[in-house]
A and B are shown apart, each in its own frame.
Chain A
Amino acid sequence: MKVRAADFLDYDQERGVYRENPEQLVRDDVEKHYWLHVVRAIIKDWRLYLMLVPMLLVFLFWRYLPMYELLGCFKVDNSVLSVSDQMFSGFSYFKRLLFAGDSTSTDFWRAMRNTFITSFYGLCFGFPMPIILALFFNEVKSNGARSVYQVLTYLPKFMSTVVMTSLVAMLVKQGAVTTNMGIVSQALVKLGVIPYEVGQAGLLNNPKFFRTLYQISGIWEGAGYDSIVFFAAIIAISPTSYEAAQIDGANKWAQMRYVVLPSILSTIVIMLITRIGSLLNVGYEKVMLLYNTNTYVTADVVSTFANRYGMKGEAQTGLAAAAEMMNNVIGMLLVIGSNTIARKATNTSLY
């Protein structure tokens, strides 16, 4: 038998009788008529709930509706099948992408591998740069000089992806009969980094250089701006910590190791989580603007693969949607996973 909370009676000392606890009565009432109370609370507070409406609609229409439409992409048009079978034969697309072994499947695996490699390189080279830069900023003691450095290094962040990629394309452009190759290519040829023919053919047409160009332009664009958050963590360290370390005879290296690093560790962890979380979320706009048919081998990532297959030929919408969905599901698991690990290990987490 279920025991009702109201069965526990209060003893009224003044009148010498047992009576029901009024608070508990209210609680029971709320429990019994939960939805009624919800509706009443909403009506009473309608202004607050009205404020939510535009935001909810925007997210519903343009973030969640596509997720529903994603299911529609897997539909197989076959009049023999029943409607429910049409909806659920979607696994065939996944199977085809993963195991078919034809050119689409190899393209997909190539895109998957490129996605991993591109983001892994980003993690190895792109991630530490802002931290190093922040350490350098900390060495510049004069405020004026530091501001100059900071303003200059934030500058590329203000360009749009289109302008940035246009600049990159122009600086390493191919040479032709009438014009010379881009200025950066020319400098690299002079320094002996690349042979003349490679520079003449254009670095962006060479699959060997795509990843390098992608990472370097990424660092050039973002390292200064990304260093802000680390620099803020470093200047928050109290000078007395350095002094104490110096008295103990710590040289610069030891100060870095035992003073600076522990103080900015939580910031690094949080930034690392965000980074790992977006590991598979390679900026497709930038890739799309930089790559061409010559560099698909190293440049094509899953989103660009989906873009090519899904928007040009209608027949392959399902394949493209399936490819991207796999990518995004793995990405989501990575966010949740890295976040959980970070929470367990360091008590800092993002969500």
Chain B
Amino acid sequence: MKRKLEITELIFKIISYTLLTIFALACLYPFVYAVSASISGRSQVEYNEIILLPKNVQFEAFSMMFKNNMFWTSYSNTLFITLYGTLWAMFTAILGGYALSKKRLLFRKFFNFFLVFTMWFSAGIVPQYLNYLATRKVFNSIGIMDDKWLVVIAMGMAAMNIILLRNAFEGVPSEVEEAAIVDGATEMQVLSTVYIPMSKSTIATVALFFAISRWNGYFWARQMMSNPNEHPLQVFIRLQLEKYTDPEQVTGWNEVFATDSAIYALIVCSIVPILIIYPFIQKYFAKGVNVGGVKE
């Protein structure tokens, strides 16, 4: 029997739908606006005639950016940092998380504390900066001149992600591992044939977390990379924003598009690849928060 909705329930439902719709549209609108503004004509953008749809369509802003070599360099730098950074972080985190998940590991409590303490206390920006400077010196002295490797190796490790992996590995039933050991598997084989396949979704989630933080990394890349040819995309975007919003830099601007369009085009180009893979990774992204390192 279907119950009739009570009046309070009905009111709440109406409020929910209304506010949700408003919020969802507010989330979407800036992106739509950015696309429209990036392909609209100059005077239309400068005098804010664009509300939702583009007017007087041009693609000059995009073509100017695609002709800019620095754009492609920064893009490939970001791909480099994201790929190698994620691989290195996953290598470290999977091995470490696996070892920490073993009850027989001596000083297990100490190692766990060693990780968790870095979540509570960090030395701060200044000592970290001095540390990276020293690291760069060491790297240069052993022949690694490219600061991209500094970003890949020294930055972006997160204790939380290792704890997520540790918890996932702890959840694997020990019988399966014992069976593998009886069959003569070594530690490495146990990890690669039992543990990794059995905690695939957590591994995917953690890899995604690392990849996103690498893709988005800005502050330290800007601090540590003096050579513009090594700049990742985020630094490039910021520098362009600073350039185009500086009135002195844009005096005598005589393109068919507005300076704003150039920035919006850059923003659109940095979001599009994420939007393309978004449907595939959204599942893991949503799962990630729930696997949390929470102990009851």
Contact = CB atoms under 8 A, between A and B. Distances in A.
B215 A317 contact: no
Contacts of A303: 124-125
A247 to B, nearest CB: 10
Interface stretch (A20-28, A46-54, A110-118): A46-54
A315 interface: no
Contact of A324 (B9, B28, B124, B274): B124
Nearest to B191: A51
B106 interface: yes
A254 to B, nearest CB: 9
B59 interface: no
Interface string A258-270: 0000000000001
Nearest to B31: A155
Contacts of B286: 150, 154, 228
Interface stretch (B64-72, B171-179, B233-241): B233-241
A252 B6 CA distance: 8
A167 B33 CA distance: 10
B95 to A, nearest CB: 4
Interface in B121-144: 121-132, 135
B206 to A, nearest CB: 13
Q: What's the interface size class on A, roughly?
A: 35 or more
Contacts of B182: none
A115 to B, nearest CB: 13
B267 interface: yes
Nearest to A281: B122
Contacts of B95: 51-52, 54-55
B92 A179 contact: no
A248 B234 CA distance: 57
A265 B211 CA distance: 32
Nearest to B7: A251
A286 B116 CA distance: 25
B124 A160 contact: no
A107 B263 CA distance: 33
Interface stretch (A6-14, A64-72, A94-102): A64-72
B123 A155 contact: no
Contacts of A158: 212, 271, 274-275, 278
B267 A54 contact: no
A176 B124 contact: no
B130 A69 contact: yes
B17 A63 contact: no
A310 to B, nearest CB: 4
A160 B270 contact: yes
B216 A161 contact: yes
B40 to A, nearest CB: 12
A284 interface: yes
Nearest to B274: A158
A52 B99 contact: yes
Most buried by A among B12, B132, B296: B12
Given A70-B123, A253-B8, A350 B118 contact: no
Contact of B27 (A136, A224, A270, A277): A224
A296 interface: no
Interface string B29-67: 011011000000000011110110000000000000000
Contacts of A163: 234, 237, 267, 270-271
A210 interface: no
Contact of A332 (B46, B92, B121, B223): B121
Given A152-B24, A154-B285, A306-B125, A162 B234 contact: yes
Nearest to B217: A160
A105 interface: no
A320 B126 contact: yes
A169 B127 CA distance: 31
A347 B296 CA distance: 7
Contact of B96 (A45, A55, A137): A55
B20 A137 contact: yes
A139 B245 contact: no
B124 A306 contact: yes
B128 A55 contact: no
A148 to B, nearest CB: 8
Closest 7 CB pairs of A and B: A55-B96, A324-B124, A160-B216, A310-B126, A66-B123, A139-B16, A252-B8
Interface of A: 38, 41-42, 45, 47-49, 51-52, 54-56, 58-59, 61-67, 69-70, 72-73, 133, 135-137, 139-140, 148-156, 158-163, 166-167, 169-171, 173, 176, 178-181, 183, 186, 220, 223-226, 228-229, 232, 246, 251-253, 270, 277, 284-285, 288-289, 303, 306-307, 310-311, 317, 320-321, 324-325, 327-329, 331-332, 335-336, 347-351
26 contacts: A48-B99, A51-B95, A52-B96, A54-B91, A54-B96, A61-B131, A62-B155, A62-B157, A136-B20, A140-B17, A149-B20, A151-B282, A154-B285, A155-B28, A160-B270, A162-B218, A179-B46, A180-B47, A224-B23, A225-B285, A284-B125, A311-B129, A317-B126, A324-B124, A325-B124, A350-B294
Interface of B: 3, 6, 8-9, 11-13, 16-17, 19-21, 23-28, 30-31, 33-34, 45-48, 50-51, 91-93, 95-96, 98-100, 102, 104-106, 111, 114-116, 118, 120-132, 135, 154-155, 157, 159, 162, 186-188, 191, 212, 215-216, 218-219, 223, 234-235, 237-238, 241, 245, 247, 258-260, 263-264, 267, 270-271, 274-275, 278, 282, 285-286, 289-290, 292-296
